[in-house]
C-alpha cells in the first residue's frame, strides 16, 4: 500500500508497465517459476505453526511440493515430498504430525525426520544397495524472527547475505513472540506481479481506498530499503489516528514500547517474490503470495499479535481484520480488472 516515489522524486527514465505478454504468456510464467520461485528465498510459514517434533506443513510451489518439518533435534527441515524409490508423494494432508518417521504409502520406505532412509523392505537383497545413498532430497532453510524461509536453488545465496538490510530492522516488534489471531485466504484472478505492483504504490489510494486515505496521507510513503529484494517503507498516520483499523484506534496493547518513534506510523514492505510484510504499532499483518497459474494467485493473509494482548480489555483484532479485509478486496478487485485489461 505504499508509494515508493514521493512527489518530490523523479521517476526513473523508461519506467513503465510491463508489456502484455508478461501477464499472459505461459512461457513467461514458467520461466518466472523456474528462475524466481525455484531460485529465491521464499517465506513459507511461521515457526509457531510447527512447534513440536514431527509437526509439519506441506507447501506447493509451482509443480513442486515440500514437507516443512521439525526434526528430533528441534531444527526445521524442508524436503521434497517425494519418495526416493518411485517418486510417490509421501503425504497428502496439508499439515499434521509424524510420529518419529516419514513412511511412503506405496512400498513402505521409511525416513527419519532428519531425511535419512531408515528402512526399505527387502532391499538388503539387492547388491550394492546402501540406504545412505537414498535420503530425502532436501532444500535450504533459514529462520528469521519467527518466519521460516526455504530456497530450492542448487547453490542458494546465503540468507544472511540476501536479507542483510532487513536482519535487525524489526527487533523492537518482538516478532518471534507474536502469534496469528486471524487468517483469510483469498483466491484472486490475476497475475501475481499485478499484486506486487499494486502493493508497492499508493497512487491509487485516494480513489480506491477512501477509508485508508482518511487515516494515512497517501503521499507520506517512503522507500527506506533501496537495496535487496525489498521495496517500500513507512507511511505516517494522520493526526488523531493511532493505527490502521476500522475505528482508527489501536486494537491491542502496543507491541512497541511506549515512546517508540514508530508509534505514529505503519510499515509496508514487499519481500520479493512472495511476502507482503506490514508492522503496525499494535499488530503485524502478513500476506503470503502464491502464484497458481498465469492468471490465478492465492493470497494467505494473517494478523499477528503479542500473546499478552489477548488478556487486555482493548484487545479487538476484528477492528484491524475488518479494515484490511475491505482494503484487500478493493485491491484484489482492481488487480482483476487490470488483468482483464
pLDDT tens by residue, 46-72: 999 999 999 999 999 999 999 999 999
Average pLDDT over residues 217-236: 87
Shared domain for 211 and 67, answered yes or no, is no
In a domain, residue 33? The reply is no
User: Which of 114, 132, 156 is the endpoint of a domain?
Assistant: 156
C-alpha cell at 127: 547388491
Shared domain for 186 and 305, answered yes or no, is yes
Residue numbers of the domain that contains 64: 42-156
Res 11: pLDDT? 54
Q: Are 185 and 193 in contact (CB under 8 A)?
A: no
Cα angle: 195, vertex 198, 204; to 5 degrees:
150
Over the stretch 71-120, which tens digit does the pLDDT of each residue have? 999 999 999 999 999 999 999 999 999 999 999 999 999 999 999 999 99
Res 259: pLDDT? 82
Shared domain for 149 and 176, answered yes or no, is no
Going by pLDDT thresholds of 50, 70 and 90, the confidence category of residue 1 is very low
Res 175: pLDDT? 97
Q: How many CB atoms lie within 10 A of CB 190?
A: 22
Rounded Cα distance, 110 and 130, in Å: 14
Shared domain for 56 and 191, answered yes or no, is no
Handedness of CA 128, 130, 133, 134 (dihedral sign): positive
Shared domain for 279 and 181, answered yes or no, is yes
Shared domain for 151 and 177, answered yes or no, is no
Shared domain for 211 and 331, answered yes or no, is yes
In a domain, residue 294? The reply is yes
Shared domain for 315 and 261, answered yes or no, is yes
What SS3 state is found at 6?
A: coil
Average pLDDT over residues 16-42: 96
Cα angle: 46, vertex 286, 252; to 5 degrees:
95
Q: Distance between the two ends of the chain, CA-based, in angstroms? A: 21
Q: How far is CA 110 from CA 101, 103, 105, 129, in A?
A: 7, 4, 9, 15
Res 228: pLDDT? 85
pLDDT at residue 4 tops 60 = no
Shared domain for 91 and 183, answered yes or no, is no
Res 2: pLDDT? 39
Res 226: pLDDT? 79
Q: Are 62 and 33 in contact (CB under 8 A)?
A: yes
In a domain, residue 6? The reply is no
Res 14: pLDDT? 66
Average pLDDT over residues 229-241: 92
Average pLDDT over residues 269-292: 97
Shared domain for 67 and 191, answered yes or no, is no
Rounded Cα distance, 2 and 19, in Å: 23
In a domain, residue 86? The reply is yes
Shared domain for 145 and 271, answered yes or no, is no
> Which secondary-structure segment (H or E) carries 334?
helix 317-340
Tally the domains of the chain. Answer: 2
Over the stretch 117-140, which tens digit does the pLDDT of each residue have? 999 999 999 999 999 999 999 999
Q: How many CB atoms lie within 10 A of CB 258?
A: 8
What CATH number should be reported for the domain holding residue 261?
3.90.380.10
C-alpha cell at 297: 494467485
Mean pLDDT for all residues in the chain: 93
Res 53: pLDDT? 98
Going by pLDDT thresholds of 50, 70 and 90, the confidence category of residue 268 is very high
Shared domain for 219 and 327, answered yes or no, is yes
Going by pLDDT thresholds of 50, 70 and 90, the confidence category of residue 317 is very high
- Sole residue written with cell 505492483: 197
Rounded Cα distance, 58 and 77, in Å: 12
User: Which of 105, 131, 156 is the endpoint of a domain?
Assistant: 156
Res 269: pLDDT? 95
From 227-236, 243-252, 309-318, 319-328, the region with the lowest mean pLDDT: 227-236
Rounded Cα distance, 14 and 253, in Å: 45
How big is the chain by its Cα radius of gyration, in Å? 22
Task: Report pTM.
Answer: 0.93
| DSSP letter (8 states) at residue 19 | P
Res 224: pLDDT? 86
In a domain, residue 72? The reply is yes
pLDDT at residue 6 tops 70 = no
C-alpha cell at 137: 532430497
In a domain, residue 119? The reply is yes
What CATH number should be reported for the domain holding residue 83?
2.102.10.10
User: Which of 108, 125, 156 is the endpoint of a domain?
Assistant: 156
Amino acid at each position: 500500500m505504499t508509494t515508493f516515489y514521493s512527489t518530490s522524486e523523479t521517476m526513473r527514465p523508461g519506467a513503465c508497465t510491463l508489456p502484455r505478454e508478461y501477464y499472459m504468456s505461459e512461457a513467461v510464467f514458467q520461466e518466472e517459476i523456474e528462475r524466481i520461485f525455484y531460485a529465491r528465498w521464499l517465506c513459507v510459514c511461521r515457526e509457531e505453526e510447527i512447534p513440536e517434533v514431527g509437526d509439519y506443513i506441506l507447501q506447493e510451489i509451482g509443480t513442486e511440493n515440500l514437507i516443512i518439518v521439525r526434526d528430533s533435534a528441534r531444527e526445521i527441515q524442508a524436503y521434497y515430498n517425494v519418495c526416493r524409490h518411485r517418486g510417490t508423494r509421501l503425504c497428502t494432508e496439508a499439515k499434521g504430525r509424524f510420529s518419529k518417521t516419514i513412511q511412503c504409502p506405496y512400498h513402505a520406505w521409511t525416513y527419519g525426520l532428519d531425511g535419512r532412509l531408515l528402512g526399505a523392505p527387502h532391499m538388503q537383497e539387492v547388491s550394492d544397495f546402501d540406504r545412505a545413498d537414498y535420503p530425502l532430497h532436501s532444500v535450504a532453510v533459514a529462520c528469521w524472527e519467527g518466519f521460516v524461509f526455504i530456497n530450492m536453488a542448487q547453490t542458494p545465496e546465503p540468507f544472511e547475505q540476501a536479507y542483510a538490510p532487513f536482519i535487525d530492522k524489526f527487533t523492537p516488534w518482538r516478532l518471534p513472540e507474536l502469534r496469528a489471531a486471524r487468517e483469510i485466504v483469498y483466491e484472486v484472478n490475476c497475475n501475481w506481479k499485478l499484486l506486487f505492483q499494486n502493493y508497492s504504490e499508493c497512487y491509487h489510494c485516494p480513489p480506491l481506498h477512501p477509508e485508508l486515505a482518511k487515516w494515512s496521507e497517501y503521499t507520506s510513503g517512503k522507500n527506506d530499503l533501496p537495496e535487496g529484494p525489498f521495496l517500500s517503507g513507512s507511511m505516517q498516520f494522520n493526526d488523531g489516528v493511532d493505527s490502521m483499523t476500522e475505528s482508527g484506534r489501536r486494537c491491542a496493547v502496543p507491541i512497541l514500547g511506549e515512546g517508540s518513534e514508530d508509534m505514529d506510523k505503519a510499515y509496508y514492505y514487499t519481500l520479493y517474490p512472495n511476502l507482503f510484510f506490514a508492522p503496525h504499532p499494535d499488530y503485524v499483518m502478513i500476506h503470503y503470495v502464491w502464484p497458481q497459474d498465469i492468471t490465478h494467485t492465492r493470497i494467505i493473509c494473517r494478523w499477528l499479535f503479542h500473546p499478552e494482548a489477548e488478556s487486555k480489555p482493548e484487545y479487538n483484532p476484528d477492528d484491524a481484520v475488518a479494515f484490511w479485509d475491505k482494503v484487500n478486496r478493493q485491491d484484489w478487485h482492481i488487480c482483476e480488472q487490470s488483468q482483464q485489461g
